[in-house]
Amino acid sequence: MIQAEKIADVLGLRCQIHSLYALSESVAQGLPKKSLQTTIKHLTHDASVAKIISNRLVPSATYKRRRGALNAQESERVERLARVYATALDVWDDEDDARQFLFAAHPLLNQQRPIDLAFSELGARQVEQILANLRYGLPA
């Protein structure tokens, strides 16, 4: 399992989170709005892709109405994507390689891109399992 600090770093909360419990509490209370944009900046530098991802996590009209924090469900979606990215970065140890893995079709995912599966909890678990196998030298 990836360390809470690495996930918090992707979310832009590095100095506030030091345990999975603290991360869980922050998600339940609602992550700051900036966590969405910070996470997306880690995922892609392409503005059109960023907009698509952002709208899948929190629709733009809803995001504009938020006053400082995302709700718990939105926070869970953002944290899930941050967790998958942090895990990929931990495995590949390079931001470009992590992004390449996330945005390329994968044979163990029926040629789907890991980033697309990461929007659901079960899909994220599949991606994390592949990354764990890669980390430990097991067949991916």
Tell me the residue type at 114.
P
**Which stretches does DSSP call E strand in 2-140?**
none
| Rounded-to-integer distance, Cα 70 and Cα 36, Å | 9
CB atoms within 10 A of CB 78: 25
Q: What is the pLDDT of residue 137?
A: 86
Is the pLDDT confidence value at 19 over 90? yes
pLDDT digits 0-9 by tens, 104-133: 999 999 999 999 999 999 999 999 999 999
pLDDT digits 0-9 by tens, 54-107: 999 999 999 999 888 999 999 999 999 999 999 999 999 999 999 999 999 999
pTM tops 0.85: yes
Q: What is the pLDDT of residue 66?
A: 86
